[in-house]
């Protein structure tokens, strides 16, 4: 008999982390645990408050409903949970985990055997100029060949100065620079700022203006001097018809997929298929999940064979993460199969 339960876990940040949605000190997440005989499966439902489509008062109630109706099966439940992408990916992961020989090796590959690694970007969090400079030095020292800097929190001129200081030491061949505006620019001055950034050989900018302004974003993507990547713009766009309409209207250069926010692996597969049909680039990013969710997303990402650095380096942010074989070394994410998972929290 298949049984399901859920466990809430509050992740604690080692350092307060600045985003466009304020400074984060904690992050709620939920683990979905399946048991069938001697087998177990585990998935993470990492709803992101203030950002997720399913950040709504009935989230936990829907999670309890899912556990109660687990016998409906994966496909039926996914269809029922179209408005709850975080629960969708938790379910997908838990069922894959349950059916695997190793419940933490859900997409077996050269990544899970430790033979191959995933190149990732080093993330620079928003904060004071001094704090951001310190992070930049640390990421470069750690061997990252791609750095992603969140902008829009401090004065734009100071952010330009920070980027210039990197470019004065490292060319675009040595360090790939990405910036993420999280919708901080106004449509009226966005193009001017994009021209300023383009002078610094920036690889791409994520979400220069707030999502939902399709015509304004389409205009920017048509005129931009540097590639634009859609991020928040994809959240809440769930039907295939709407996905096609969004991409054909805006025509971005890239899309960025956070599986926890866009309908799990099946939702990400749809976006990837559409982007490739439209000759758009894409990469995958985690959304502050614990190592359980990060592990599933990383293993899925490896199977997609993207050659671009991915956004998967968030596992070391928390003091009470789940001990796992995931390890960031020399700008890559690796799975060290000789290391053990700590499953004490889950009572399994």
The catalytic site residues sit at 150, 258
- Distance from CA of residue 89 to its chain's centroid? 13
| CB crowding 30-69: b at 16 or more within 10 Å, else e | bbbbbbeeeebbbbbbbbbeebbbbeeeebeebbebbeee
CA distance 164 to 171: 11
The string of DSSP codes covering 2-19 is -EEEEEEEEEEEEEEEEE
Total residues belonging to the chain: 348
Closest CA to 239 of 86, 79, 44: 79
Q: How far is CA 111 from CA 64, 145, 226, 293, 298, in A?
A: 33, 20, 32, 16, 9
Q: Is 107 exposed, middle or buried (0-12, 13-18, 19+ CB in 10 A)?
A: buried
Residue 82 carries which DSSP code?
T
Q: Are 300 and 293 in contact (CB under 8 A)?
A: no
CA distance 38 to 4: 14
């Amino acid at each position: 008999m298949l049984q399901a339960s859920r466990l809430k876990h509050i992740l604690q940040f080692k350092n307060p982390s600045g985003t466009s949605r304020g400074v984060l000190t904690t992050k709620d997440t939920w683990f979905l645990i399946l048991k069938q005989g001697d087998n177990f499966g585990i998935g993470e439902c990492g709803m992101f408050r203030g950002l997720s489509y399913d950040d709504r008062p009935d989230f936990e109630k829907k999670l309890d409903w899912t556990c109660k109706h687990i016998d409906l099966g994966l496909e039926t439940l996914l269809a029922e949970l179209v408005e709850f992408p975080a629960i969708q990916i938790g379910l997908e992961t838990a069922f894959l985990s349950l059916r695997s020989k190793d419940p933490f090796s859900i997409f077996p590959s050269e990544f899970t055997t430790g033979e191959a690694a995933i190149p990732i970007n080093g993330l620079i969090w928003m904060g004071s100029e001094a704090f951001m400079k310190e992070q930049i030095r640390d990421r470069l020292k750690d061997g990252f060949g791609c750095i992603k800097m969140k902008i829009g929190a401090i004065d734009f001129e100071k952010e330009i100065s920070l980027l210039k200081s990197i470019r004065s030491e490292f060319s675009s061949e040595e360090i790939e620079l990405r910036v993420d505006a999280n919708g901080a620019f106004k449509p009226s001055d966005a193009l001017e700022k994009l021209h300023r950034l383009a002078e610094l050989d920036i690889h791409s900018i994520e979400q220069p203006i707030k999502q939902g302004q399709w015509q304004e974003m389409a205009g920017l993507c048509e005129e931009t001097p540097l590639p634009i990547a859609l991020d928040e713009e994809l959240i809440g766009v769930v039907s295939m018809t709407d996905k096609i309409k969004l991409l054909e209207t805006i025509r971005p250069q890239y899309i960025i997929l956070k599986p926890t926010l866009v309908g799990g692996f099946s939702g990400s597969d749809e976006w990837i298929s559409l982007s490739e049909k439209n000759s758009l680039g894409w990469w995958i990013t985690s959304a502050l999940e614990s190592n359980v969710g990060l592990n599933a997303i990383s293993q899925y990402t490896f199977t997609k064979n993207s050659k671009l650095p991915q956004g998967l380096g968030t596992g070391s942010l928390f003091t009470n993460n789940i001990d796992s074989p995931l390890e960031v070394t020399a700008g890559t994410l690796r799975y060290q199969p000789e290391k053990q998972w700590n499953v004490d929290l889950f009572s399994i």
